[in-house]
């Protein structure tokens, strides 16, 4: 989805040109359908995010997302990207629709990352990648197997980076609540809702190849003497690795109903919320 790793707290999300999902700070449990898994209802209640009944109602449409230029979306990955870009702030992306309210929602050039905060970020994001890659390696659903050994995997790279910090004498912290909470959510979601899980898979991996590299460069210049971490290196041509995964995602989504696709798209906001909490660690 090539969205900036800066995660914005969204206020709206379009499921089709004529319908918007609204977030409310006071979400009543009476608006959450009975078929929504318990762990997801708790997340929705605590964060005040859009509830699944709105997402499900949007699934009544059979029309895919439209490009901003007016053309048809080309494959489901294109739909996922459009949703993600709309959830950026205007400071982060030309297509963004949100207003920046927190430091991490501003342009990267305005950030003031700390060394300790960046280490916390690396530790927490490794927990997330560890979980994702374990889920793919031992899949609850056959479709997950399509995404083994894509070349985008990050766990081993992050392990090398953290080992380097330790060898330099820096204290590597334990994982904190943002990373642990996201990992737990992903594990539970992957066992119940493959379409929703794929949304997170896409957002997390593609974020690191686009906005993640922009952030890495700026952070490295400010606090790492411009050292390039293994986290931001790939074995092979990155553009081709990404295209291969796009093709696999589009292939898997071909067998989804419009309701499945809209449920996946509706998970984008939750993905942004979790990832934003982890990115915020850099500035702590």
Domain ranges of the chain: 114-282
Confidence at residue 43, expressed as pLDDT on a 0 to 100 scale = 52
Confidence at residue 211, expressed as pLDDT on a 0 to 100 scale = 85
Mean pLDDT of 82-100: 74
Confidence at residue 20, expressed as pLDDT on a 0 to 100 scale = 35
Q: What proportion of the chain, given as a percentage, has pLDDT over 90?
A: 60
Judged against a pLDDT cut of 80, whether residue 265 lies above it is answered with yes
Confidence band of 108 (pLDDT split at 50, 70, 90): confident
Count of all residues that appear for the chain in the document:
284
Confidence band of 87 (pLDDT split at 50, 70, 90): confident
Judged against a pLDDT cut of 90, whether residue 38 lies above it is answered with no
Short-list 163, 170, 238, CA closest to 208: 238
Q: Quick check: 87 and 9 in contact, CB under 8 A?
A: no
E strands, the chain, where? 12-16, 19-22
Give the ranges where 87-148 is alpha helix by DSSP (H).
Answer: 115-137
Short-list 6, 16, 24, 15, CA closest to 89: 6
Short-list 65, 77, 86, 81, CA closest to 8: 86
Residue 189 main-chain phi, psi, to 5 deg? -65, -40
> CA-CA distance, 43 to 277, in Å (whole number)?
14
Judged against a pLDDT cut of 80, whether residue 129 lies above it is answered with yes
Residue of 60 and 37 predicted with greater confidence: 37
Confidence at residue 45, expressed as pLDDT on a 0 to 100 scale = 45
Confidence at residue 100, expressed as pLDDT on a 0 to 100 scale = 67
114-282: which CATH topology? Heme Oxygenase; Chain A (1.20.910)
Judged against a pLDDT cut of 50, whether residue 50 lies above it is answered with no
How many Cα atoms are found within 13 Å in the side-chain-facing hemisphere of 31?
Answer: 17
Short-list 195, 200, 173, CA closest to 184: 200
Confidence at residue 229, expressed as pLDDT on a 0 to 100 scale = 96
Handedness of CA 273, 278, 283, 284 (dihedral sign): positive
Least confident interval from 84-88, 115-119, 152-156: 84-88
Residue listed under structure tokens 């708790």: 42
**Is pTM, for the whole model, over 0.85?**
no
Tell me the average pLDDT of the chain: 79
Mean pLDDT of 12-34: 34
């Amino acid at each position: 989805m090539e969205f900036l790793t800066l995660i914005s707290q969204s206020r709206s999300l379009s499921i089709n040109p004529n319908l918007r999902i609204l977030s409310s700070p006071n979400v009543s449990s009476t608006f959450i359908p009975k078929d929504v898994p318990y762990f997801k209802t708790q997340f929705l209640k605590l964060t005040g995010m859009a509830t699944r009944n709105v997402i499900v109602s949007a699934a009544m449409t059979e029309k895919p997302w439209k490009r901003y230029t007016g053309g048809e979306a080309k494959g489901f990955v294109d739909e996922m990207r459009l949703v993600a870009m709309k959830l950026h702030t205007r400071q982060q992306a030309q297509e963004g629709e949100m207003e920046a309210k927190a430091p991490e929602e501003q342009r990267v050039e305005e950030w003031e990352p700390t060394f300790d905060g960046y280490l916390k970020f690396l530790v927490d994001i490794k927990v997330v990648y560890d979980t994702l890659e374990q889920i793919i390696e031992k899949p609850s659903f056959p479709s997950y197997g399509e995404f083994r050994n894509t070349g985008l995997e990050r766990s081993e790279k992050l392990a090398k980076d953290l080992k380097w910090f330790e060898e330099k004498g820096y204290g590597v912290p334990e994982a904190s609540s943002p990373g642990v909470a996201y990992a737990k959510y992903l594990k539970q979601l992957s066992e119940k809702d493959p379409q929703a899980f794929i949304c997170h898979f896409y957002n997390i991996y593609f974020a690191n190849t686009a906005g993640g590299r922009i952030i890495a460069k700026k952070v490295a210049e400010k606090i790492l003497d411009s050292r390039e971490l293994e986290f931001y290196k790939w074995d092979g041509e990155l553009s081709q690795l990404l295209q291969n995964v796009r093709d696999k995602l589009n292939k898997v989504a071909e067998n989804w109903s419009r309701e499945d696709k809209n449920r996946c798209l509706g998970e984008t906001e939750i993905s942004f919320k979790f990832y934003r909490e982890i990115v915020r660690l850099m500035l702590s």
